[in-house]
Structures are given as C-alpha cells and as structure tokens.
Structure 1
Amino acid sequence: MAAAKEQIFTLEATPLKFGPGSSAEAGWELKRLGVSRAMLVTDPGVREAGIADRVRESIEAEGIACEVFDRARVEPTADSFQEAADFAVDGKFDGFVGVGGGSSLDTAKVADLVATHPAEIMAYVNPPVGEGRKPPGPLKPLLAIPTTAGTGSEATSVAILDIPDQRVKTGISHRYLRPTQAIVDPDLTRSLGSEVISSAGLDVVCHAAESFVARPFDTRDAPDSPDDRPPYQGATPISDVWSARALEYGGLYLRRAVEDPDDIEARGYMMLAASLAGIGFGAAGVHIPHSLSYPIAGLKHAFQPPGYPDDHPFVPHGWSVIVTSPAAFRYTFGADPGKHRRAAELLLGEPVEEADEDTLPDALVALMRDVRSPSGVRELGY
C-alpha cells in the first residue's frame, strides 16, 4: 500500500521590525521580551565598525545588563560554536542578541540552544554527521539584527557550521532555533564592501529561486506524527509569495546595492529580500545549489576571498552557492517549466514569451557577471 501523501503545511515567521535606524530600538525589544541579562554575539569586524556597541548602548539604556561576545567566526566551525556556547553557559544569560551576518546570528542561535539545553554541539548537529538531537523545549528570547543582506538567518530555524576535520559543512535545524524577534536596519550595511554585498545578495537570489521551484509539499509522504514534520516541507502557496517577492527585489536592487554603498534604498530592499527569502525557504527548503555549496566550501580551505576578513581562508557562502546554480536550474527545468519561467520573469523584471531550460540560467549568469561574482569553482581555488 502506497504511503499517504502530506496534506498539511505550516508557516512560521519571525516578527520583523524594518527601517533605517530601527536597531536603536534593540533595548526596547529586549525589555518587552522580559530580558534582564543579555549576551550579544558579534564578530570582530562588526564590533570594530561600532555597530555592536551602539546596540549594546541601546540595551543598557533600558536597564538591561549586556555582555558582548565578539569572537563569532565568519563561516563558523563546531569549535567556534562551542566557544560561544561555553561563554553563554558561564554567563547565565536570560536573553540573546545576534548582531552581524549569518555567521553571528547562527552563533547566537547555538549559544542560546546549548545554554538553555546543555549538550555537546555535535549532539544537535544534523545526522549523519551528528546525533540530530531535538531540543526538549523552547529556547530563551533571541533578538536577531542582521548587518548583511544575504543569509536570512534572522527568519530561519537553522544554523550552519563547518567541521574541518571531517571536511564537512552541515547544520543544526529545529523550529526552536528561529529568532524571537528580528530588527532589519538598512543603515547597518553602509560599511559593507561590494564583494560582501555581491556574495550575500546572490545567496538571497538562490534562496528565493530554489524555494520557489522546490518540490511541492504535497508530493512528500505524510509524517508519522506532527513532531516528525520537517521545517523544510517543500514549496507551498504561502512560501511562494515570499520567495517570489525576494526574487523580484534581487533582480531590481542587487546590481545597485553592489555599485553604490550609499544607495540605502537598494541595500534596504536587499535586506528585506533576505528576510522574505528566509521566510520562503525556511518553509520550502532549498536544494541542489545549496547542497553542492557545502562540499565546495567544506573541502577548500585555501581560498582568501577579496573584501572579507583575512584571518582565515574560506569560500563565502553566497559564492559557493551561486557558481553551480545555472547548471542546477538547467537540470531541474523539466520538473516544472512554468515555475522556472516565472522565476526568470521575476528576476528579469519582464515577461518571457518563450522559456526553455536556459532562460533562468542565462538570467543568473548575467546577474553574476554584473555583480562581479566568480563564475565557477576554478575561481574559488579548485
């Protein structure tokens, strides 16, 4: 007897506050959430730019104690997650704040997880690399404040990490990891270089495109219990709405955001696109480009990306994703030509009369060239 197919989907979204200057309300948000002692997670670059300390001052102005952990690693490892988790356990915090790119936000998620439900990092890492243990209950409040327009981590229930000794990149995923509140402030992107905006923005585009053309949720087998329903369920009518708008914004604003750091309108819309795509792929999931990005990033530790911190070599996530996307979408076209055509129209900002397997890949290649992205793995050191 054939297994019953899924008929149920869920949508969970982080409450989001958006607008220039909105990060000044971080303290108010933590006070509203009942936090009295917060751990603020950031990386050295964001701290050096003064952003983290401005957020800390907003928090302390509300009478909330705040300690800064500024050693989040760009492209985190199990060890860097563990360092932050140890700091969190020792600090006995009742709330957490992530300020930075996806690496800092993911580090804050894991610090919250381990401080609330103590265990080794690998216990929570997805199988087969880790045990895949599920958190036994909700976490402490987490306020996510992104400073890049890319990962959408402020809206997702996953934290990504590198395990160098196994040459593996993987993640921790559970609905409890989703931040309690997000603040998306376009002003925080002013100091970002064009390379970071390029890589992060192409990650947004891939999140949106992959989730938009993902396998529909009702083609999956139904789970045995609600607890077995995965966060990534496949494309749904609601996830399509978020992913489509993110694709549209990527086509309209990414080129502008890369060219001019003072184009706050473009950078703001790309930050919004990142959050919208995070909601979309946080429900629908991603597929081939992201799956291939993990070995691309995990196997190569000699590439020094321009425009990024030079304290360790790594492949920026967005670039590791985008380089395989043209071939991936050429391959998936036959599964749903109509949605691939619509994805191309959204990215191009115009109707496409005749679409084939090259239409969406060609649109992606043109965008990659315009924002000066690597065009293949050879440019990433392979």
Structure 2
Amino acid sequence: MAGRSKALQLLKSLSSASCQCPAHSAGWTHATHSTQATETTDYAFEMACSTVRYGPGVTKEVGQDIQALGAKKVLVMTDKTLVGMTPVSAVVESLNKHKINFSVFDRVRIEPTDVSFKDAVDFAKAGGFDAYIAVGGGSVIDTCKAANLYASDPQADFLDYVNPPIGKGKPVTVKLSPLIAVPTTAGTGSETTGVAIFDYEPLKAKTGIASRALRPTLGIIDPLHTLLMPERVAAYSGFDVLCHALESYTALPYYDRSPCPENPILRPAYQGSNPISDVWAVHALGVVAKYFKRSVYNSDDVEARSKMHLASAFAGIGFGNAGVHLCHGMSYPISGNVRKFHPEQYECDHAIIPHGLSVVMTAPAVFAFTGPMCPERHLEAAHILGKDITRVKREDAGLALADVLLGYMDDMKVENGLEALGFTSEDIPALVKGTLPQHRVTKLAPREQSEEDLAILFENSLRIY
C-alpha cells in the first residue's frame, strides 16, 4: 500500500542517520563483540523465573497449592470485570472446596496508577494476609505484586522501591508472602517476572518496581481463560508478547551493561540480552509467527489461544531477565498522557491506551533506528516472523524488521499511529520528557539516543501507514 511505502521511506531516512556518540560511532554487533567485560561493565548475568504450571483447567488446583503453603488468610485480587467471570469463580470454588479463608479485592485499575497501587496496598496492609492470588491480566498481577511488597514492609515510603530516577530503587531485602498468579490474557508474561508497572500520575509517565523478590511463587497458566479475551484485547496483548521478544533479543548484551554491581543483590532484574534469554525470545517469535493472527480472529481456536498464552510466558522469561528497551520506554509517556482514547472492547470507565498498543506504536521506527547496531539479530527476527531476507542487505536490517511489523499491524487493524490515539506533533516535547527518566529500559537499547533522536522517533510514529 502507498501509505506503508511512505512510512518505510521515512524510516529509511531515520535508520541511515549516523550515530556519532563515542560508544556507537564505529558500530558493533552481538555476533562480533567481545564477551569480556571492561572495568565498568558487568561480566555476569542471572536467570530467575517463577515456577509455572500449564494445562487446561489447572486453575482448580489453586486451593491445594494454598493448602500446601500453610496459608491462613488469603487475598484474591482481580478487577471489576473479571470478578463475575469464570477465572475468578474457578479460584473461589477451589478455595472454598479446600476450606481456605480468603477475601476478594476487585478494585484493580486497568493500566494501574500510583493511586490505584496505594489503594490495593492499604487493603493488603489492613487485612494481614499471608498469601496472595492474582487473577487477571498484567494490571492485576502487577498490582498484587506491589500490595505484597508494601504489606511486607509497612514502614516503607512508596517511592523507596520505585525505579530511579523517579524513586530510590532500593533492593528488596524483606521477605514477601507467597503469590500465585493466574493470568487471563496472553500478553504481559507478568506471572514470570519480578516487575510491576504503573502510571506515575505526577509525571504522566509509566515507571515501575523491579526486583526478583517480586516474582510470583507460582504462575498458573490455564489457557481456557484466554478464550474470554475479546478480539482487540487479544490483538493488543499479542503485540506486547511480540515486542517483549524483539526488544529482549535486540537489547544491549549483558557484558556491555554498566555499571558492574559491587554486590550481586544490586544486579538489576533487566540485565541485557544473554544466551539463555535469547532462547526464550526466539522461540516466542516463532509461536507468534504461527498463531498470533489465528488467535486474534478466532476466539474459539483453543490451539491458537493456548499457544499465545504459552508464548506470553516464554517471552516473559526472556525479557524478565534480559529486559526491554525503546518501544517500552517510549510507551510509558504515551500511556501516561492519554486524553480521550477509549479502546473498543475494553470495559473501563476511564480513558486508556492499552499497554500493548502503546508499545507497538513506535516499534517500526524503533527497529529501523536500532537495526544498524546489531543487524544480524534484526534480520533473524524478521526472518522468523515471515520475511524473505535472502536479498536484504545488512544495512537495511532494521527496515526489513520494520516492514514486517507494519504488516502485522495492518493485519491486526492497529490504529494509524499516535495521531489516531489523540496526539499531535505539539505533544512530542512532553512525550520525549516522559521517556527521558526511563533509564531502566532506555539504557538497554543497542543504540544510544539523544532527545532529538527520541523526538524524530515519535514524529515518525504519528502516522504509521
């Protein structure tokens, strides 16, 4: 289509702009870079993941899991839509069957904020719970992680654990209660990670808390729950899976990340691409290529929905240790500055830009920009996702991946850029300002970026077709 060709021409101009920063002016690739750390970069990576259990109907076992933990008072956390649906009723039935004492909190906000986090934290503190069950998508699971953390450290200030530079980023040394996550969407992979993301309203940008201590004790992956996802939820959630895998696979290698921690406890959850995370990311891409479109347009396709549910966990294991980079870093102010956008098929009483939608909006521009830094990985990803790369030059690797992504976005009827979400070029300074504090992820991008670079990336994402 003509619009797509025009978009690719804009991206070609972006990708061809030389990066003059000292770290990247000569270029590098994952394949040729030394694995020996310098005095300032890290030399090791760690792998951490929740235990997961997969199977149709496996939610019915949660009562036995709680019983085995010896918990006496459990908090079941969900949102107002799911509280009346089968995933929550399956959990409640299992808890009742095994005579577990529990309370239900259903005030989780879709796309949570610091205010909604604090509401859940206050409820958890007052209840004296010794175990948690999160039933829902990433918003529910992340909110439950935060409630568990601050209830376990009731004297902590809210910003103590929030990622710097917004918060203090203190390491978590308190013991948290067991948390079982029951994901109902195929997107965030939050059941496998130690990350909790929220909108920080004072800055109109997302940030989060990242610590291995936040990882759920158990992730119960029951694919039957994903059959309830409406088409748009399946589409936007699926793009979150896709971007998780792409960003973790193309992230700065762990041995190039700095600083090197003085103590292992200070090594971040997001450490850069590494050989183990790579395996999970590549496998997730293969599943997405085969099942994503089927899962969106065939809600009763159990195989496709099940495979995407697993792909979410696969990508979660990958990015939960390697990290994500620019697509996510730039998505946070996009979500935080929403005005009137109300996505179809999302039952909420406030304007939101679903996380996966905010992430994929800049993906074509981002990968056109990062392609020159690790072209082999961009080409491999494009190939896995269905692109014939036999005649693609290394210098066009980013463009090739951007073209594939534009095709997926077109197939899934994604809105035509940031303008369709209510933004104009006048909003770009605010979007750039909201991206700058996202060091936890932006510094993992394989190519450093200036404020001008970020502005161009947002400009090239105003319209994508």
TM-score of the pair, normalised by structure 1: 0.96
Partner residue, 1:36: 72
2:219 to 182, 187, 190: 182
1:203 to 236, 240, 246: 240
Between 98-107 and 185-194, report the one with greater CA deviation. 185-194
Partner residue, 1:296: 334
The alignment partner of 2:389 has SS state of coil
Deviations 1:11-62 (A, max 9, x none): 0111110111111111122222222211010001111223212212212222
The alignment partner of 1:190 has SS state of helix
The reply on whether 1:157 has 2:203 as its aligned counterpart is: no
1:334 to 361, 368, 372: 372
Q: Which amino acid aligns with 1:61?
A: K
Higher relative contact order (CA 8 A, sep 6+): 2
2:400 to 356, 359, 373: 359
1:368–1:375 CA contact under 8 A, matched in 2: no
2:197–2:207 CA contact under 8 A, matched in 1: yes
Q: Which of these two proteins has the greater Rg computed from alpha carbons? A: 2
Deviations 1:179-202 (A, max 9, x none): 110001110012211000000000
Q: Which amino acid aligns with 1:206?
A: C
Mapping of residues 1-382 of structure 1, within 5 Å: 3-118=39-154, 119-221=156-258, 222-348=260-386, 352-355=389-392, 356=396, 357-382=398-423
Partner residue, 2:31: none
Deviations 1:205-256 (A, max 9, x none): 0000000111111112422221221111100000000011111111111100
Deviations 1:148-167 (A, max 9, x none): 00011101111011122321
The alignment partner of 1:143 has SS state of strand
Between 206-215 and 4-13, report the one with greater CA deviation. 4-13
Shift of 1:322: 0.2
The alignment partner of 1:140 has SS state of coil
Shift of 1:351: 5.7
The alignment partner of 2:129 has SS state of coil
Shift of 1:64: 1.5
2:110–2:348 CA contact under 8 A, matched in 1: no
Shift of 1:141: 0.3
Shift of 1:5: 3.4
| Counterparts of 2:352 and 2:339, CA distance in 1 | 5
1:117–1:135 CA contact under 8 A, matched in 2: no
Q: Which amino acid aligns with 2:189?
A: G
Shift of 1:174: 0.9
| Counterparts of 1:334 and 1:95, CA distance in 2 | 47
| Counterparts of 1:301 and 1:123, CA distance in 2 | 29
* Number of residue pairs the alignment of both structures matches: 380
The alignment partner of 1:111 has SS state of helix
Q: Which amino acid aligns with 1:162?
A: D
Shift of 1:138: 2.7
| Counterparts of 1:156 and 1:224, CA distance in 2 | 23
| Counterparts of 1:343 and 1:217, CA distance in 2 | 19
| Counterparts of 2:413 and 2:72, CA distance in 1 | 45
| Counterparts of 2:140 and 2:60, CA distance in 1 | 19
Structure 1 runs (4+) greater than 6 angstroms displaced? none
| Counterparts of 2:46 and 2:202, CA distance in 1 | 36
2:171–2:266 CA contact under 8 A, matched in 1: no
TM-score of the pair, normalised by structure 2: 0.80
Q: Which amino acid aligns with 2:228?
A: S
| Counterparts of 2:384 and 2:69, CA distance in 1 | 38
Q: Could you tell me which runs of 5 or more consecutive residues in structure 2 were left unpaired when the two chains were aligned.
A: 1-37, 424-465
Deviations 1:329-382 (A, max 9, x none): 01111111111111112222x663133231111111111111111231111111
Partner residue, 2:11: none
Shift of 1:131: 2.6
Q: Which amino acid aligns with 1:159?
A: A
Q: Could you tell me which runs of 5 or more consecutive residues in structure 1 were left unpaired when the two chains were aligned.
A: none
2:160–2:168 CA contact under 8 A, matched in 1: yes
The alignment partner of 2:285 has SS state of helix
| Counterparts of 1:286 and 1:143, CA distance in 2 | 24
1:345–1:351 CA contact under 8 A, matched in 2: yes
Q: CA RMSD in A?
A: 1.3
| Counterparts of 2:415 and 2:166, CA distance in 1 | 29
Q: Which amino acid aligns with 1:36?
A: K
| Counterparts of 1:61 and 1:316, CA distance in 2 | 36
Q: Which amino acid aligns with 1:261?
A: S
Deviations 1:87-146 (A, max 9, x none): 111111110010000000001101111111112323322122223233222311000000
